[in-house]
Amino acid sequence: MGTLPTDRLIVLDHPLVQHKLALLRDADTTTKDFRHLMGELAAFLCYEATRDLELEEYRVRTPLEETAARRVSGKKLGVVAVLRAGLGMLDAVLDLIPVARVGFVGVYRNEETLQPVEYYCKLPSDLAERDVLVLDPMLATGGSSSAALQLCKDRGGVRISLLCMVAAPAGIERVARDHPDVAVYTAAIDRELNDVGYILPGLGDAGDRLFGTR
């Protein structure tokens, strides 16, 4: 059984992350609050996943004097939302990185086989030059995320991170096996999958809870 080395599996144990994750899990949380919480958690995940961005020195003039300052050194970033539920993370990530180029991968799970079915792919053409953040809140069997990561690689992506709310051991193992070079950032590692592939304890169907569908 493959497991991700610890430097490729980053679990955010910050108290605010755990507090908001608990609210996200709660079946009584409204659609409106669920959407808001997923955005807040996505921002925390993005913050952690961009921790190693390079900085360069430059000078700025404050209202009082000139001073040394630092800025992100022109590193190009790409963000790829896995439809549908990755949309719930996208705005918050773009608020932090407004210059990122955005791609979309449409993939859903066949409810019986649990195999990913790809139906859409639109990715930035220069993915090879970018650090790529793939957004998919649920890492269950890992089939959907693994397929999205492969599509990014097929388009040249080489430095890729996966950001999710909740990861199941099976999904972590799948990504470790298929994409050992990819770092996974998550707010939680949950216990297991149930017999229809839902994460336990999980938070239910992320897409349905985000968009009020059933």
> Would you please indicate which residues are annotated as catalytic (active-site) residues?
109, 113, 205, 208
* Binding to ligand URA, residues 138-157 (CB under 6 A): 138, 140
Sequence-distant (6+) residues with CB within 8 A of 53 are 72, 73, 75, 131
Per rule CB under 6 A, is residue 206 in the interface with ligand URA?
Answer: yes
The single residue among 78, 103, 124, 142 that binds ligand PRP, judged by CB under 6 A, is 142
- Residue 47 phi, psi (nearest 5): -55, -45
Distance CA 41, CA 137 (A): 10
The one-character DSSP state at 90 is H
CB of 207 to ligand URA, least distance (A): 6
The residue among 110 and 125 lying less far from ligand URA, judged by its C-beta, is 110
The residue among 39 and 197 lying less far from ligand URA, judged by its C-beta, is 197
Number of residues that bind ligand PRP (CB under 6 A): 23
At residue 109's C-alpha, the angle toward residues 150 and 161, to 5°, is 35
Name the binder of 187 from ligand URA, ligand PRP, none, CB < 5-8 A by kind.
Answer: none
The single residue among 37, 44, 103, 141 that binds ligand PRP, judged by CB under 6 A, is 141
Three-class DSSP category at 78: strand
Name the binder of 48 from ligand PRP, ligand URA, none, CB < 5-8 A by kind.
Answer: none
Whether 10 contacts 128, CB under 8 Å: no
Distance CA 181, CA 148 (A): 14
Query: Measured in whole angstroms, how far is the alpha carbon of residue 173 from the centre of its chain?
Result: 17
Stretch that binds ligand PRP, among 14-22, 36-44, 49-57, 201-209 (CB under 6 A): 201-209
Per rule CB under 6 A, is residue 205 in the interface with ligand URA?
Answer: yes
Residue type, 152: C
The one-character DSSP state at 98 is T
Residues found near ligand URA in the complex (CB under 6 A): 85, 138, 140, 197-199, 202, 205-207
Residues found near ligand PRP in the complex (CB under 6 A): 82-85, 108-109, 114, 116, 136-145, 171, 197, 205-207
